[in-house]
Amino acid sequence: MLTLPETDLVVHELCLGGNVFGWGADESLSRAVLDAYKGHGGNFIDTADVYSEWKEGNEGGESESIIGRWMQGQDRSKLVIATKVSLWSKRPGLRPENIIAACNDSLKRLQTDYIDIYYSHKDDASVPMAEILGAYQQLINEGKIRYIAASQHTGVRLQEALDISASEGLPQYIALQDRYNLMDRQPFESEQQDVLNRNQISAIPFYGLARGFLSGKYRKGVVVESVRAEGVVEYQTDRGWAVVDALTDIARAHHSSPSAIALAWMRANPSVSTPIASARTVEQLNEIVEVVHLSTTEVNILNRASA
């Protein structure tokens, strides 16, 4: 367990992604994964109002609703729940009135009185930053959210938000959520990471397994049946296969899985507090929830393979 910088939130070293709940995993499978995660000591769950609007027959909010029903049998005080606003077609953008309405909707679906971390799911340059932060201030004052964080913000825009928070006495983003993994190292390492370090906040990256490519199940000439299979075609290059081979070798040495090693590589970066990864099945969850510590040599091997 670790404490997220700039908060009093004590979380597991794997944040469980809820993007597959109501999409790749139906409610029964989702609840089994949530139970298994809790059984491993997990307490940090990430979702969004838009999950999983993209599935035919869905309208959005399915992931939050599944998590909300599951939480009715849990001790809410022992869970850290993060959700997001701005990408759902029914509640788009970061206008203050939309943030407040979307938060109230999320609270109903999650069947909870408060959200531990509420993200701006994507930057919205059409709204003055001070107005966005002011809406979050209102929700904090009402006890509906505890902390706020940014998702899919450039380093420049994140720094702008942090500067406005400091100068105007408004709530501060405590973390950045964006894509980062062995296959997608930029722009995180080139420009976002410096902002995090300068302001002593951390990254909670998504796509930690590059949409499942780093799980090791993708191999040259192997057809994988998965809702995410089309999304990993871009990684199936000489560089990608070299990364998978390196992960597999290191996993063998640790009696672990490529998934666990890929996440361990992320944790080895001091700018990362905890990566996000999702699981459609308990078997997948058991692979990603293991916390492995890599040597400097092993980190360097992976760095070279993914350079």
Instruction: Out of 37, 51, 118, 147, pick the active-site residue.
Output: 51
**Do 280 and 33 contact (CB within 8 A), yes or no?**
yes
d(CA 80, CA 84): 14
Closest CA to 29 of 255, 284, 248, 232: 284
What residue type is 223 in one-letter code?
Answer: V
For 199, residues 6+ apart whose C-beta sits below 8 A from its C-beta are 159, 162
For 166, residues 6+ apart whose C-beta sits below 8 A from its C-beta are 172
Say how many C-beta atoms besides its own lie within 10 A of residue 273's C-beta: 25
Q: Is 51 a catalytic residue?
A: yes
Q: What is the dihedral of CA 260, 187, 88, 48, to 10 degrees?
A: 30
User: What amino acid positions are annotated as catalytic residues?
Assistant: 51
